[in-house]
Amino acid sequence: MHYKCKHEFQLEISFLISACCYLSRLVGMVCRSDHLMKFIIFFRIKHYQILNARTVFGKRLQYSFLF
């Protein structure tokens, strides 16, 4: 029961990050500011790390981006 809840929470986080990524890219297209583009690149790298952790290493590393 607890595990299922935790897993759903992880899915929520990854969905929110995907949404933030998409919004960041939209804003980046509008603004074209150097600082923002750096932020978007950083964010996409983090997002990739999370997905990679999920597929390759499993549950334990998924929280590494939070801390």
Banded pLDDT at 67 (limits 50, 70, 90): very low
- Give residue 26's pLDDT: 72
Output the six-digit token pair for 28.
């980046």
Checking 11-20 for CB contacts under 8 A at 24+ apart, the result is 14/50, 14/51, 14/54, 17/46, 17/47, 17/50, 18/47
pLDDT in tens, 9-57: 677 777 777 887 777 777 666 655 666 667 777 777 776 766 666 665 5
Domain housing 42:
2-66
Domain count, the chain: 1
Alpha-carbon distances, residue 32 vs 11, 38, 47, 48, 62 (angstroms): 31, 10, 21, 22, 31
CA distance 26 to 2: 37
Question: In terms of pTM, does the model score above 0.75?
Answer: no
